[in-house]
Amino acid sequence: MPELPEVETVVRGLSPLLMGRRLSRVIARRPDLRWPLPDDLAQRLSGATVTGLRRRAKYGLLETDRGDTLIFHLGMSGKFHQLAGEPGLHDHVLFELPGLTLAYNDHRRFGSMHLAPTEGVADHPLLRQLGPEPLSDAFSPAWLAAKAAGRSTSIKALILDQQTVAGIGNIYACEALFQAGISPTRKAGAVSAARLSALVAALKATLDRAIAAGGSTLRDHAQVSGDLGYFQHSFLVYGREGQACPACGGPIRRRVQSGRSSFHCPACQR
């Protein structure tokens, strides 16, 4: 499932195509994705001008001059692409502009689209419980230390909790924990303040590098341009079970935590 870098890459790819431009027509070619599409989606977006485009956690937010915000989630296989001819079977929502048609394509249909008033959008049920953005100053060592204090849950589970920090998924949690030298199974409350500070720095650095590389393409992710992400070629531990640790040369191990694979080096991560 796309994580923060993949969604950020998509939002950045959409911005030069949509910002300040009028949506001539929006067409919903089916009534639902993961959940039903708003009945008035086409009516409220057709003729509107895009005034803002940003990301919040793993959601994209498209704001219009009508006071509406389209909240979209890519699910497992969602992507936007420029339509060159007739729409394909899985091009479910079309955004027509003068000289350009963007299609939202999602063959698994785990993505979603919602409309909400721009004013107060932060209070939408999908957004209101989210923690700080990991690349913001609000996500600090002091913040993470406060969240970890006295907690018996694992440190990995803590940083995957979207109320602790928004947008972190399994891939980047594994990579950052390795860089910080922290075992994914260590109890959050047992991680020292110094190591939590190192984890915050590792998360920020990992996300920055992943965004610069266009995200990670493991199966379905593609940029709006059609280019794939390339960060998967830089993974230090994720998906590398049995391969040599880049730090000590020992084997990378995989274990399952809460139904998710954790890749780590037992020698380097404590």
pTM above 0.85, yes or no: yes
State the pLDDT confidence band at 222, using cuts at 50, 70 and 90.
low
State the pLDDT confidence band at 228, using cuts at 50, 70 and 90.
low
Cα–Cα separations (whole angstroms), residue 95 to 83, 87, 98: 10, 11, 10
Q: Do 4-123 and 141-264 show the same overall fold? A: no
pLDDT at 86: 95
Q: What's the CATH code, domain 4-123?
A: 3.20.190.10
Provide mean pLDDT across the span 112-128: 97
pLDDT at 40: 96
Q: Catalytic: 186? A: no
C-beta atoms surrounding 229 within 10 Å: 21
State the pLDDT confidence band at 216, using cuts at 50, 70 and 90.
confident
Q: Catalytic: 8? A: no
Residue 1 has pLDDT above 80, yes or no: no
pLDDT at 232: 82
Q: Which one from 133, 195, 260, 266 is the annotated catalytic residue?
A: 260
Q: Catalytic: 6? A: no
Q: Which one from 55, 56, 58, 240 is the annotated catalytic residue?
A: 58
Q: Catalytic: 58? A: yes
pLDDT at 258: 87
Q: Which one from 3, 6, 8, 175 is the annotated catalytic residue?
A: 3
- Domain boundaries defined on the chain: 4-123, 141-264
Determine the Cα–Cα distance for residues 228 and 220; give it in Å rounded to an integer. Answer: 9
Q: Nearest Cα to 205, choosing from 243, 231, 241, 244?
A: 231
Which residues is 81 bridged to in the sheet? Answer: 103
- pLDDT, one tens digit per residue, over 17-49 is 999 999 999 999 999 999 999 999 999 999 999
187 in Cβ contact with 152 (< 8 Å)? yes
Question: On the CB side of 43, how many CA atoms lie within 13 Å of its CA?
Answer: 4
DSSP assignments along 165-220, one per residue: STT--HHHHHHHHHHHT--TTSBGGGS-HHHHHHHHHHHHHHHHHHHHTT---SSS
Residue 255 has pLDDT above 80, yes or no: yes
Furthest C-alpha separation in the chain: 59
> Domain 141-264 adopts which CATH fold?
Helicase, Ruva Protein; domain 3 (1.10.8)
| Highest-scoring range by mean pLDDT, 50-54, 209-213, 217-221 | 50-54
Determine the Cα–Cα distance for residues 95 and 118; give it in Å rounded to an integer. Answer: 19
Contacts of residue 35, defined as CB under 8 A and 6 or more positions apart, other chains included, come to 112
Provide mean pLDDT across the span 142-165: 98
